[in-house]
Amino acid sequence: MKKCKYAALLATAIYAQYSFAAIDELTILQHTQEAKKTTIAKHANTHVNLSRQFTIETTQGPVITQTVSHPNADYIKLHFSQVNLNGDAKLVVRSEDNSERYEYSSNNMDAATIDSLNGDDGVHSFSSMSVSNDSVIIEYYPDPKNSKQQHQFGVIDSYFYGTESANININEQNKPAPLSTCGINERKDVQCWANSNPTEFDRSRPVARLVIGGRSLCTGWRVGSDNKLFTNNHCIETASELASTEVWFNYQNKSCNGTTRETIVKVTGKEFFKTDYTLDYTLFSVNDFANIEQFGYLGLDVRNAQQSERIYIPQHGSGNPKELSIESDQDTNGLCQVNAPSTNGRGSNTDIGYYCDTIGGSSGSPVVAASSNRVIALHHLGGCYNKGAKISKIWPQVATYFNNTVPVGDNDGTTPLPPTARFEYNCEQLQCNFDATSSSSAGTINSYSWNFGDNQTDTGATVVHNFVSEGDYDVSVTVQDSNNNTNTLTQTISVSNGSPTEVELTKGQALTGQSAALNQETIYYIDVPANSTNISIDITGGSGDADLYVKKSTVPSTNNYDCRPFRNGNTESCNISQGEGRFYIMLKAYNSYQNVTILANYENSAPPTDNDTRVLTSRAYGFPDFWQRYSYVVPAGATTVNIKTLGGEGNTNLYVRADAAVTKTQYDCLSNNKDNNESCILEVSSGQTLQIGLLGVTNYDWVKLVATAK
C-alpha cells in the first residue's frame, strides 16, 4: 500500500555521502552507527506465576518466591503482567547475593520501566530494573489484610537477557572498524588512563550507559549540578522511550582491561525536557537522583571549536564498560583533535568533525574540549570524520532549563575560566574588515579593544580599518568579559595596494604551481553553462596549507561562502549542485603554501527524455529500524519522478520527503508493501533534490534503488 501526504508531491535530499565497496558492508551497518542505537540484548518468552503454591514462610511473613535464570547472561530484565500491588503488597527483584535489590509497591515504582508499545501501564504491567547476573530471585510479599482469598498475584511473561560478550568481534584491538573507528581502535578502558591522564579520567565520572527498552544501548551524561542529562535524539526520541530507559552509572572495570566491575548504580528515566532532530539531542532527568549525585557532572563550552584543538571522548562504545578516546593515529600529534570546526550533520554546519575513535553505542557521548574540560559537542555520527553536534547550537534551545546560566563541571573550580579572544579578517587592498564575534567566555564579553599595529586603535566586536600603506602589521584584539577577565590574540596580516587579480579557470584543465604567503588570498572563477551537473572544485598537492572557499555569483570571504571543506593540508574538494552561473573560488593561505594544483570541472547534461532512468544503488542492505539514505537531483526538464525499489531479499519500506529530513513520521510519500517492490511517483521541478530513506522491516540485502524522470 502507498501513502502520500500531498496531492502534488515533492521530494528531497538524502544524507548518504560515503560508499565502501571493498569491505563487508553488512558488518559495517551492524557494528557502526549513523544515528542508530546499538542492540545488545535478546528477548525470551516465559510464563512464571506468582501464586500461593510457591509460598515459603519467613520472619516477614509468607513470601512467594521464584527464580528466573538464563545461562551466560550478563543481565536479565524481567517483564511482569497482571501484578497485584494493592495495599501493602511488595515485589522484590534481586540478585542471589542481594548485592542488587529493587523493590516495587503501590507508592514506589521508581525502579520500574514502562514500554507503552507493549501496553504497560506502570502499575499492573511493567519491567523491573535489570539485574547484572544470569539468575534473578523474585519475591512477592502479599498484602496480609486483603489477599487471603487470592491465589494468583502476577505473571512473569518475558524477559530480556544481555550477553555482552557478543560484542567482542566488533571490539577487537588493532582491527579497524570502518565508519567510526578511524584507523586502529584506540578506545581504552578508563582505568588505563587513570595515572597518565588523571583529569580526563576524572571527567569521565558523569558519563553513563543507557539501556533503552531492555535491549538498545547508547551513552548519556550529567550536565550541571541539577538533575539533567544529555543524550541523542536518535537514542531517546520520546517521553515514552525515556520511560523504558535504564541509566547505568559507574559501569566500568576496576583495572585496566580487567574483568571485575565497579559497583554499578542504576536509575530510570523520569522527565523528558527537550529534544531536537536536527541537532540530535535529548535533555532529560532521572528517578532517584540522589543515588547518582556522587558521580559529578560536566559543564558546557558554548563556543565555536577551533581547528586542531585537542578533545577527548568518554563513552560506552558497544555498551562496553566505560572507555576513553584520547589518542588518534590519524592525527599528526597522536592525540584526538578537532579536524573540522564546522561541518554538516543532520543539518548544515551543525557539527564538528574529528577522527577520535567511537563505535555503535557511543551515541550521546560528550566530546570534551581539553582546554576547558567542558563539553563542546554531542557525539552522534560516524564516518571518519566522526561528528558531534555543536553545543553552541544546542545551548540556545535549552538555556531556559539552566536559568540561562551556562553550567560548569563539578571539578571546574569556582574561578571562571578566562575568555578566549578570536578574530577573522578579510582585506581588499588597504581596507580590512575585522570580526571578533567568535570570541567566547564563561560569562558575557563586554568589550573588544583593537590595536592595528600602525599606532591606530578601535573598539567593537566588528571594525573596519584603512591602512595607509601596504606591508605586514601585527593586529591584536583584547576581550574583557563580565567576570573582569581578559584575553588577547595577535595575528600578523599582510595588506597590498594592488587590485586582486581574478584568474579564470577552464573546465577540466588543471592549473598547477599555485603558491601564496601566510594569509594571502587568491581569487579564481569559472563560468558554468546551463544544464550542467556535478560541479567540482578540487585542490591537491604541494606543501603548506591552503584553504578552499567557493561561492556562486560573488567573491567568497572567510565568513561568507557556499562551500568550505575545513581540511588540513592541500587536499580539499567542493561539490556543488547550484547549476548555471559564475562560481568564484578563493584560496586563502592558512599557512604559506607552494605548488598547489587547482582543478574545476562539471558535466554537461541534456534535458531528459521520457523514462530517463538512473540506478541510485544496485545493492541496498540493512536490518530492522536501520535507515539507509540516498540523494537524487531532478534533471532539467523533468516534471515527475518515480522512485522504486526492486528485488533482493527481506523487506524494506521506502520513504521520500521534500526539502527536509525524512523520518518515520515526516515524509511526502511512503510505500510499504510486504516485499521490496516499492514505488513513489512524485511531481517535481528541475533541480530539486529528493531525499530518499529505506527503513528495514526485516534484514534485507541486494535491493536495487532506481529513479526514473519524465
Q: Quick one: which of 406, 382, 16, 474 has its CA closest to 180?
A: 382
> Is it the case that residue 70 has pLDDT exceeding 70?
yes
CATH number at residue 17: 2.60.120.380
26 sits in which H/E element: helix 25-31
Contacts of 294 (CB under 8 A, 6+ apart): 265
Cα separation, 214 vs 202, in Å, equals 29
Cα separation, 653 vs 675, in Å, equals 8
For 99-144, the pLDDT digits (tens) are 999 999 999 999 999 998 888 999 999 999 999 999 999 999 998 8
Please classify residue 647 by burial: count the beta carbons closer than 10 Å to its beta carbon, then call 0-12 exposed, 13-18 middle and 19+ buried: exposed
CA 451 to chain centre: 40
* % the chain with pLDDT above 90: 53
* Residue 363 domain boundaries: 169-411
> Is it the case that residue 499 has pLDDT exceeding 80?
no
The answer to whether residue 493 sits within a structural domain is no
Count of residues making up the chain: 710
Give the least confident one: 100-114, 326-340, 619-633, 677-691. 619-633
Give the least confident one: 373-387, 483-497, 621-635. 621-635
687 Rama class: left (phi>0) / alpha (psi -120 to 50) / beta: left
> Is it the case that residue 153 has pLDDT exceeding 50?
yes
220 Rama class: left (phi>0) / alpha (psi -120 to 50) / beta: beta
The answer to whether residue 416 sits within a structural domain is no
**Average pLDDT along the chain:** 85
- Residue 371: strand, helix, or coil: coil
In the chain, the amino acid numbered 172 is E
Confidence (pLDDT) at 21: 29
591 vs 226, which has greater pLDDT? 226
The answer to whether residue 491 sits within a structural domain is no
Residues 190 and 92 in one domain: no
pLDDT band for 415, please (50, 70, 90 cuts): low
Confidence (pLDDT) at 417: 65
Residues 577 and 627 in one domain: no
Residues 195 and 151 in one domain: no
> Is it the case that residue 460 has pLDDT exceeding 80?
yes
Among candidate residues 162, 189, 204, the one where a domain is terminated = 162
Confidence (pLDDT) at 623: 74
How far lies 501's CA from each of 400, 518, 545, 555, in Å? 50, 18, 21, 12
Residues 316 and 179 in one domain: yes
* Most confident listed range (59-68, 206-215, 425-434, 508-517): 206-215
The answer to whether residue 487 sits within a structural domain is no
Cell digits for 670? 511512503
For 524-562, the pLDDT digits (tens) are 999 998 878 888 999 999 988 899 999 998 999 887 888
167 vs 313, which has greater pLDDT? 313
The answer to whether residue 419 sits within a structural domain is no
The DSSP result for 312-334, as a single string, is: EEEE-GGGPSPEEE-B-TTSTTS
Confidence (pLDDT) at 178: 39
Residues 313 and 191 in one domain: yes
Confidence (pLDDT) at 38: 67
The DSSP result for 114-134, as a single string, is: --GGGT--SSSSEEPPPBSSS
CATH number at residue 462: 2.60.40.10
Report long-range pairs for 5-9 (Cβ below 8 Å, ≥24 apart).
5/667, 5/668, 5/669, 6/668, 8/683, 9/656, 9/658, 9/668, 9/669, 9/680, 9/681, 9/682, 9/683
Q: Taking a C-beta distance cutoff of 8 angstroms, is the pair 365, 356 a contact?
A: no
Please give the average per-residue pLDDT across 265-286, as a whole number. 96
Residues 477 and 523 in one domain: no
Residues 406 and 349 in one domain: yes
CATH number at residue 404: 2.40.10.120
Residues 230 and 125 in one domain: no
Q: Taking a C-beta distance cutoff of 8 angstroms, is the pair 653, 679 a contact?
A: no
The answer to whether residue 424 sits within a structural domain is no
Among candidate residues 162, 196, 217, the one where a domain is terminated = 162
Please classify residue 53 by burial: count the beta carbons closer than 10 Å to its beta carbon, then call 0-12 exposed, 13-18 middle and 19+ buried: exposed
> Into how many domains does the chain fold?
5
**To 5 degrees, how large is the angle CA 262–CA 263–CA 268?**
125
Among candidate residues 574, 604, 634, the one where a domain is terminated = 604
Residues 527 and 675 in one domain: no
Confidence (pLDDT) at 442: 63
The answer to whether residue 497 sits within a structural domain is no
CATH number at residue 66: 2.60.120
Residues 596 and 617 in one domain: no
The answer to whether residue 210 sits within a structural domain is yes
> Is it the case that residue 456 has pLDDT exceeding 60?
yes
pLDDT band for 606, please (50, 70, 90 cuts): low
Residues 541 and 468 in one domain: no
- Residue 37: strand, helix, or coil: coil
Cell digits for 186? 584506540
Q: Cβ atoms within 10 A of the Cβ of 606, count?
A: 10
Confidence (pLDDT) at 27: 37
Confidence (pLDDT) at 380: 94
Residues 506 and 581 in one domain: yes
Cα separation, 612 vs 608, in Å, equals 6
Q: Taking a C-beta distance cutoff of 8 angstroms, is the pair 471, 498 a contact?
A: no
